[in-house]
Homo-oligomer: A and B are copies of this chain.
Amino acid sequence: MPKTLTENTLLKKIERAFPSARMNPLRLGIGDDAALFKPKPGHELVLTCDWFLEGSHFLRDRHPPDSVGWKCLARAASDIAAMGGEPKCFLLSLALPASASGNWLKGFLKGLKRAAKHLRCQLAGGDTTRRDEILINVSVIGEVPNNRAVLRSGARQGDVVYVSGQLGQAGLGLRLLRSGGTRSVERAKAMQRHLYPEPRMALGRWLAIKRIATSMIDISDGLSTDLGRLCEASQVGALLESDGFPAVEISGRIRPKIGDPLELALHGGDDYELLFTARPGKLPLLPWHFKGLRVSPIGRITSGTNIVWHDAKTHVSKILRQGGWDPFRR
- A53:B131 contact, CB within 8 angstroms: yes
- List, in ascending order, chain B residues with CB within 8 A of A130's CB: 56, 327-328, 330
- A327:B48 contact, CB within 8 angstroms: no
Interface string of A205-231 (1 = CB under 8 A from B): 000000000001110000000000100
Q: How many residues of A contact B (CB 8 A)?
A: 67
Q: Is A99 an interface residue (CB 8 A)?
A: no
- For residue A80, which residue of chain B has the nearest CB? B34
Q: Which of A280-330 contact B (CB under 8 A)?
A: 326-330
Which of B31, B53, B91, B216 lies in contact with A95, CB distance below 8 A?
B53
Stretch from A35-43, A170-178, A185-193 forming part of the interface with B? A35-43
Please tell me how many copies of the chain the complex holds: 2
Q: Is A27 an interface residue (CB 8 A)?
A: yes
**Chain A residues in contact with chain B, CB under 8 A?**
1, 5-8, 10, 27-28, 31-39, 41, 44-51, 53, 56, 79-80, 82-83, 85, 89, 91, 93, 95, 98, 124-131, 135, 137, 139, 141-142, 144, 146, 149, 151-153, 216-218, 229, 233, 326-330
Q: 10 shortest A-B CB distances, which residue pairs?
A: A34-B48, A33-B82, A137-B137, A139-B139, A39-B39, A129-B327, A130-B327, A37-B45, A33-B79, A49-B91
Identify 10 new A-B residue pairs, CB closer than 8 A, beyond the known A31-B152, A33-B218, A128-B327.
A6-B329, A33-B48, A36-B47, A36-B83, A37-B44, A48-B125, A49-B125, A51-B95, A51-B129, A53-B131
21 examples of A-B residue contacts, CB within 8 angstroms: A1-B328, A6-B329, A7-B326, A8-B229, A32-B152, A33-B80, A33-B217, A34-B79, A34-B85, A36-B45, A37-B44, A39-B39, A41-B41, A47-B89, A47-B91, A47-B124, A49-B93, A49-B125, A50-B93, A51-B135, A51-B137
